Amino acid sequence: MKPPVKKMEYEKVPTNDFVSGFIEEISYDENHMFKGFKGSPDEAKPAVRIVFVIEGLKFPKKTSWMKFNYSAKSNLYKKYISSLVENPKEYMDFDLDQLKGLKVKMLWADNGEFQNIETIRPADGKKVVPLNTEKAAQFPWGQRLLHH
């Protein structure tokens, strides 16, 4: 005999219009296991996810774990850095914790049993200005910048 299957009911974010909220927390994992791509072995890499408080919802919402680097091809950069940071540059010197407390407008979409952010913008239109404005060109090795 097997126990009954317990299906989790998640609080859904409205997907028909932009919702307002703010970035409550940035979570980090130094050795998050990412699934290997097309049969390659799983890899432990630095990871990050963003936690949002959304108006009208009881519980915070979290992004999926993303590889923690500022490559222009990374999800973190394409979706969040490029939309929320002023004058973004690949591998820029930017402390992600500067996003904490930022009021945002988000458009969410259903993705099977889950939901994902499709679009995110600062609520007041003002992007975060990096505290350190040194150019990324000073760090041609890119990702190694994250591992001081």
pLDDT one-digit tens code per residue, 84-112: 999 999 988 899 999 999 999 999 999 98
Q: What is residue 110's DSSP assignment?
A: E
Tens of pLDDT, residue by residue over 44-57, are 999 999 999 999 99
Q: pTM higher than 0.95 for the full model?
A: no
Asked whether the predicted pLDDT for residue 113 surpasses 90, the reply is no
Of 56, 63, 59, 52, the residue nearest 103 (C-alpha): 52
Task: Return the higher-pLDDT residue of 147 and 11.
Answer: 11
Asked whether residue 58 carries a pLDDT value surpassing 70, the answer given is yes
Quick one: pLDDT band at residue 68, thresholds 50, 70, 90?
very high
Residue 133 has pLDDT above 90, yes or no: no
How high is the pLDDT of residue 84? Answer: 96
Q: Would you place residue 138 in the very low, low, confident or very high pLDDT band (cuts 50, 70, 90)?
A: very low
